[in-house]
Structure 1
Amino acid sequence: MDAETFAVEAAIEQDHWWFRGRRRLLASEIARLGLPPGAEILDVGTSTGTNLRLLRELGHQRVSALDSSQIAIDYVAAKGLGRVRLGDICALPWPDDSFDMVLVTDVIEHVDDDAAALAEVARVLRPGGAAIVTVPCFPSLWGLQDRVAHHKRRYRMGGLCDRITASGLRIDRKFHFNFLLFPAIWGARRMLELIKPDIASENQINTPFINAILSGIFRLDITTAPWLRPPFGVSALVRARKIRT
């Protein structure tokens, strides 16, 4: 991402409706895994630390993290959220079968070779371990945020699942989320394409009132999405496991 975009994320991720809601969703999905005490966890693409904040709140102690940007790593250090290694998801600096869970949240859309990235995630997972992957969905939603975040693509669920399966992982849970706001976000992005505001991130378009309203909508969304399984959403979540041999 651009340096300005990292700066915006670092400033808002603790309280912004999107980041808080996604942490709530991930907390629910992590709880479903029933991880053992002392589970080894890897957060790939840590960015400015939102997942490290979540894992700390959940009481996980054995957490490793990696990001490809020194700017992001410096923000994490300044927040006191832990040590992050500088590296590439396509060449993870850990041996085979190292982790019980790998978080890959809004990461692989930044990578030229997403198949290689997912293969690396599968490699470092222990047999029976789980990967939780989230991505932005639907090319029709392409806009400012995709450009400033240096996205390579937005996904369709089928294509995402094909890539994950090809990595050697077995999918056991999948759903779209942020579906309630899909029409509003589609319309807002078309408007932004017309007016071209001078901003570093869509996340700057917010006020305390808007944040409260959208937080309530997104809370309802992430509560209902896992069992409604809507056919569309701004994002998708897939949970997959490394098959025991």
Structure 2
Amino acid sequence: MTNAGKYTVIEGVKCFNPEVMSSYADYPDSGFQLTDENEENSFWVRSRNRLFKAIVYNQAKVGRTKLLEIGCGTGGFIRHIVENENLEITGSEVYISGLLYAKNKLPDVDFIQFDIVNGYLDQQFDLVIAFDVLEHIGDDVTAMANINRLLRPGGRAIITVPQHMFLWSRLDEIVKHKRRYSRKELVTKLKNNGFDIIFATSFVFILFPLMLVSRIFDKGFKQLKSEKVELEKRVKFPLLLNIIFDFFMRIDETLIKAGVSLPFGGTLVIVAQKND
């Protein structure tokens, strides 16, 4: 683990773990460009941003809330919450190419290069969020323990991961997932690393049958020479489908915002509090 507070400025970014900033061992470099180009048109990205924004605002303290996003990528989610003046936001990402996209669009936000497994920050936060991050990390237990250390007493974490190993497909391989989680596995790991579970729900519930069918077919999909092309084929949808799927995703959002814990779905969402 690196010494707290020590960093090197590279391309205008504070880099706490520069030794891994360009390795792309756990996420494809092309994924950042694809996300930056298509996130506003993707029903999945739009829906998750709406839901996660509501959860963040619900969990934020009254008054000033110091927030850290682990794995902020190109800063897409932060763009949806930066308007909230009560949030003091820091965005972190292990790979620098995503941060360069983020800094270009949000020059006033504090973005840092940081490895949650091998790095350490000399500050604590009220709220730490990690959306679809842990599945990329080999040592996810250490990552959870370090997230706990980054929280102030009583601080909370909002964590999302892909759910159900039976949904494993070529897409998981392309984006370098290490695993998909069961609810029991993630809850147990979080409890063992100093967290109490406040709320847990599945997401992508209404569209789950379609997701299941698509993943079954994807298991036998012929591999192409370019993983970038393969990724594009799996995450880009025609405009009409995006509109239809967006409508059904809003049902999930409404139920979760009402406090309903959905029993199954493609994504698992957990709100956990540091156990003091």
TM-score normalised by the chain length of structure 2: 0.82
Moved more, 81-90 or 199-208: 199-208
Structure 1 vs Structure 2 CA RMSD? 1.9
Mapped pair 1:211 → 2:237? no
Residue 115 of structure 2 is aligned to residue 88 of structure 1: yes
Q: Confirm or deny: 8 A CA contact 1:178 1:222 kept in the other structure.
A: no
Aligned length: 243
Mean CA deviation greater in 42-51 or 156-165: 42-51
The amino acid of 2:221's aligned partner reads I
Q: Distance in 2 between matches of 1:127 and 1:33?
A: 15
**Distance change (3 Å), C-alpha of 1:219 and 1:121:** same
Structure 2 unaligned spans of 5+: 1-26
Tell me what 1:222 maps to. Answer: 253
Letter of the aligned partner of 2:122 in structure 1? P
Looking at structure 1, the residues matched to 104 and 245 of structure 2 have their Cα atoms a distance apart, in angstroms, of 28
* Deviation (angstroms), 1:15: 3.4
Q: Among the aligned pairs, what percent are the same residue?
A: 28
Q: CA deviation at 1:38?
A: 2.2
Q: Tell me the residue number matched to 1:236.
A: 268
Could you tell me how far apart the structure 2 residues matched to 1:229 and 1:202 are? Answer: 32
Name the aligned partner's letter for residue 8 of structure 1: L
What do residues 20-66 of structure 1 show as CA deviations (whole Å, max 9, x unaligned)? 11111112212222423221100001111122112214345411121
Q: C-alpha separation between the residues in 1 aligned to 2:199 and 2:181?
A: 17
Which protein is richer in helix relative to its size?
Answer: 1
Q: For structure 1, which segment, 32-41 or 151-160, has the greater mean C-alpha deviation from structure 2 after superposition?
A: 32-41
Secondary structure of 1:47's match? coil
Corresponding residue for 2:176?
Answer: 150
Residue 43 of structure 2 corresponds to residue 12 of structure 1 = no
The 3-state SS of whatever aligns with 2:198 is strand
From the CA coordinates, give the structure whose radius of gyration is larger: 2
Over 3 Å counting, the alpha-carbon distance change for 1:203 and 1:225 in structure 2 is farther
How far did residue 205 of structure 1 move? 3.0
SS in 2 for 1:14: helix
Q: Are residue 29 (structure 1) and residue 55 (structure 2) matched? A: yes
Gaps of 5+ in 1: none
Q: What is the alpha-carbon distance in structure 1 between the residues aligned to residue 63 and residue 48 of structure 2?
A: 24
Q: 1:133, 1:239 within 8 Å by CA — same for their partners in 2?
A: yes
1:129 Cα offset (Å):
0.9
**What is the CA deviation profile of residues 86-127 of structure 1, one whole-angstrom value per residue up to 9, with x for unaligned ones?**
12111343126x100000111011101111000000001001
Instruction: Judge conservation of contact 2:60–2:127 (CA < 8 Å) in 1.
Output: no
Report the Cα offset of residue 202 of structure 1: 5.2
- What's the counterpart of residue 67 of structure 1? 93
1:39 alignment partner in structure 2: 65
C-alpha deviation, 1:13, in angstroms: 1.7
Select between 48-57 and 224-233 the one with higher mean Cα deviation: 224-233
Partner Cα separation in structure 1 for residue 38 and residue 248 of structure 2: 19
Q: 1:87 to 1:185 in 2, by over 3 A?
A: same
Q: Residue 58 of structure 1: which of 84, 90, 109 is its match?
A: 84
Distance 1:92 1:126 in 2: 18
Aligned residues of 2:89 and 2:110 also touching (Cα < 8 A): no
Is the contact made by 1:119 and 1:168 (CA closer than 8 Å) also made in structure 2? Answer: yes
- Aligned to 1:114, which of 140, 146, 158? 140
Q: Which of 149, 157, 173 in structure 1 is aligned with 2:199?
A: 173
Which segment is superposed worse, 47-56 or 131-140?
47-56
